[in-house]
C-alpha cells in the first residue's frame, strides 16, 4: 500500500469535527485516517531533520509552536 500525504507543519487545524457555514456538524476523521496522518507527519519530520531543515525535535517543536512532548509523541507514532 502506498500513502501520499502533504503535511502543513504551520497549520493549527486539529482535524476534529467542526461546523460548516450552515451550522451542520461535519463528520470527524476516521481512526485509520488519523493514524495514517500521524505516520505521514512522523515521516515528514524525520525527513526534514535528515535534510538539515530542522536541527532536532526540539527545533521542530520551537518552530512549529508545539510542545516538545507533542513532537516526540508524533514521531514515535511511526515506530509503534
Tell me the whole-structure pTM to 2 decimals.
Answer: 0.61
Please say whether the beta carbons of 7 and 41 come within 8 A.
yes
In terms of residues, how long is the chain?
80
- How many angstroms from the chain centroid is the CA of residue 63? 14
Q: Which cell numbers in the block locate residue 77?
A: 507514532
> Tell me, what's the pLDDT at 16?
56
> Tell me, what's the pLDDT at 9?
64
- Closest C-alpha to 45, from 9, 2, 3, 4: 9
Residue ranges of domains in the chain: 31-79
Distances (CA, A) of 3 to 7, 41, 64: 12, 12, 24
pLDDT tens per residue, range 13-62: 555 555 656 666 666 778 888 888 888 889 999 999 999 999 999 999 99
- Look at residue 19 and give its three-state secondary structure: strand
> Tell me, what's the pLDDT at 60?
93
> Tell me, what's the pLDDT at 46?
92
Amino acid at each position: 500500500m502506498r500513502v501520499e500525504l502533504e503535511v502543513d507543519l504551520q497549520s493549527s487545524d486539529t482535524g476534529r469535527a467542526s461546523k460548516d457555514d450552515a451550522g451542520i456538524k461535519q463528520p470527524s476523521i476516521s481512526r485509520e485516517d488519523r493514524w495514517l496522518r500521524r505516520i505521514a507527519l512522523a515521516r515528514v519530520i524525520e525527513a526534514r531533520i535528515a535534510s538539515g531543515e530542522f536541527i532536532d525535535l526540539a527545533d521542530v517543536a520551537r518552530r512549529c509552536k508545539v510542545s516538545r512532548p507533542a513532537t516526540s509523541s508524533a514521531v514515535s507514532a511511526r515506530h509503534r
